[in-house]
């Protein structure tokens, strides 16, 4: 059991004296504990310097702290080699990095890119862009009505032309935790590389990169208590070494002449320019915080809230819940009869409740569901069952106003 009241004391946003304040949008971005805010401000207050180039004490300290976070990520996710942990700006940037740096070199008119209909736009649009450039084509693993992927062996989906399979570990709309072990195994079987979008998974469950043995894994810091502006891409050493850089500039080079340049080693080959130093250091503090609480405890707490939320919301006859999958994270998409989700979100906000409403950057899912938007609530370690009770009451109140 998590001691949620003690946890909430660590998050300044819950202690502003604003009551009620019910934050149910952690799938969009999480709140930050004081230790993360302190780690970022301490960097700016006491050792703000560029990394890998400053020869003075505070520069060395900044470099050590930044590189130390690479080791923390390695330990947190059981990554075989620290050098395969690349810092980016976000999951979006991580996925674009693969699409451009791997895709442009390895895809051609004979290649197929296999995605799923469940993807966030950041795991669709970069592939559309690279498909257009390379004349390769896109295929999609179908979505079923209960919010899972139809992974049945299917000759029209998988073939020798399949060069890359990219799916999310956990859906940001349904919360579905996909059987990525089998997706990764299928990719290997067909000689394709596997890419996993872990944006919604890493904050909420134990992820073991060595065990998964995928080719690329991407996630964002801001959904896991860290600052915005930092993401991670983990890649397989040989693939990263073969790939051309994604961006050119300082730091990513070995030698530069006016005619040509050679590249720094992995991971720095992919970290052009001054990186997001403060944000990476903040991510390190977020990893420390999650480890101090325990990712398994957080996961169990999520599941508890999910089951409670599903139970409470399903008692309201005006609510339509979307998706119905057994293995899922703490995300619930729904709509309320006769209320547009945007109106619902605005009315809930007047009661101090933050939820997401819209297409959730997953318009193909909305098309599949036959709606333009849904409401969505998502839970994290600082949420309580009483947050869900307050939500349910406010939904009922809003429904009475709209009736």
Q: Which residues of this chain interact with ligand C6P, rule CB under 6 A?
A: 27-28, 90-92, 120, 122-123, 168, 172, 197, 199-200, 220, 356, 360-361
Q: How far is the CB of 200 from ligand C6P (least distance, A)?
A: 5
Smaller CB separation from ligand C6P, 201 or 319: 201
Closest separation in Å from C-beta 29 to ligand C6P: 7
DSSP-based three-state secondary structure for 177: strand
Residue 146 Cα distances to 118, 215, 321, 326, 328, angstroms: 12, 28, 10, 10, 11
Helix (H) or strand (E) holding 22: strand 22-23
Cβ proximity to ligand C6P: between 2 and 373 the closer is: 373
Give least dist CB 254 to ligand C6P, A.
29
Q: How far is the CB of 17 from ligand C6P (least distance, A)?
A: 27
Both structure tokens of 215? 């080719």
Assign 69 to helix, strand or coil. helix
**Parallel/antiparallel/unpaired status of strands 22-23 and 331-336:** unpaired
Residues 139, 157: contact at Cβ < 8 Å? yes
Q: Which is nearer to ligand C6P, 24 or 131 (CB)?
A: 24
Distance CA 315, CA 399 (A): 14
Pairwise CA distance, residues 63 & 222, whole Å: 21
Q: Smaller CB distance to ligand C6P: residue 90 or 394?
A: 90
C-beta closer to ligand C6P: residue 62 or 381? 381
Closer CB to ligand C6P, 168 or 306, in the complex: 168
Q: Which of 168, 214, 354, 361 is catalytic?
A: 361
Q: Give CA–CA dist 210/163, Å, rounded.
A: 22
CA distance 70 to 210: 16
Place of tokens 């994604």: 246
Kindly state the smallest distance separating residue 57's Cβ from ligand C6P, in Å.
34
Please state the closest distance from residue 173 (CB atom) to ligand C6P, in A. 7
Tell me, yes or no, if 361 is annotated catalytic.
Answer: yes
d(CA 363, CA 154): 25
DSSP secondary structure string, 93-152? HHHHHIIIIIIHHH--TT-EEEEETT--GGGTHHHHHHHHHHT-EEEEEPBPTTS-B--S
Q: Which residues are catalytic?
A: 361
């Amino acid at each position: 059991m998590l001691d949620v009241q003690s946890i909430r004391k660590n998050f300044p946003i819950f202690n502003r004296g604003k009551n009620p304040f019910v934050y149910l949008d952690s799938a969009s971005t999480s709140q930050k504990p004081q230790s993360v805010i302190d780690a970022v401000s301490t960097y700016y207050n006491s050792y703000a310097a560029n990394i890998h180039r400053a020869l003075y004490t505070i520069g060395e300290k900044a470099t050590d702290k930044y590189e130390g976070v690479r080791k923390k990520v390695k330990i947190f996710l059981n990554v075989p080699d620290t050098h395969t942990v690349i810092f980016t700006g976000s999951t979006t940037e991580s996925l674009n990095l693969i699409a451009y740096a791997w895709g442009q070199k390895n895809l051609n008119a004979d290649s197929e890119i296999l995605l799923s209909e469940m993807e966030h736009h950041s795991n669709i649009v970069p592939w559309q862009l690279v498909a257009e450039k390379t004349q390769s084509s896109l295929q999609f693993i179908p979505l079923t009505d209960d919010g899972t992927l139809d992974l049945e062996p299917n000759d029209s989906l998988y073939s020798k032309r399949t060069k890359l399979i990219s799916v999310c570990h956990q859906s940001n709309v349904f919360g579905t935790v996909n059987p990525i072990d089998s997706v990764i195994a299928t990719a290997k079987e067909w000689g394709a590389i596997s890419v996993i979008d872990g944006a919604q998974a890493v904050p909420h469950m134990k992820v073991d990169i060595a065990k998964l043995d995928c080719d690329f894994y991407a996630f964002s810091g801001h959904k896991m208590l860290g600052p915005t502006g930092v993401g991670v891409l983990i890649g397989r050493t040989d693939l990263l070494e073969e790939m051309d850089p994604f961006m050119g500039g300082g730091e990513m080079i070995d030698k530069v002449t006016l005619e040509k340049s050679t590249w720094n080693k992995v991971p720095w080959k992919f970290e052009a320019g001054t990186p997001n130093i403060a944000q990476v250091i903040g991510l390190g503090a977020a990893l420390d915080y999650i480890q101090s609480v325990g990712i398994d405890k957080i996961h169990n707490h999520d599941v508890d809230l999910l089951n409670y939320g599903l139970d409470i919301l399903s008692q309201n006859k005006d609510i339509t819940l979307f998706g119905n999958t057994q293995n899922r994270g703490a995300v619930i998409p729904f709509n309320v009869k006769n209320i547009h989700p945007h109106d619902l979100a605005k009315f809930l906000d007047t009661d101090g409740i933050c939820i997401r409403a819209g297409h959730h950057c997953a318009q193909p899912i909305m098309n599949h569901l036959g709606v333009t938007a849904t409401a969505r609530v998502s839970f994290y370690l600082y949420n309580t069952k009483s947050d869900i009770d307050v939500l349910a009451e406010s939904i009922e109140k809003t429904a009475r106003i709209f009736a």
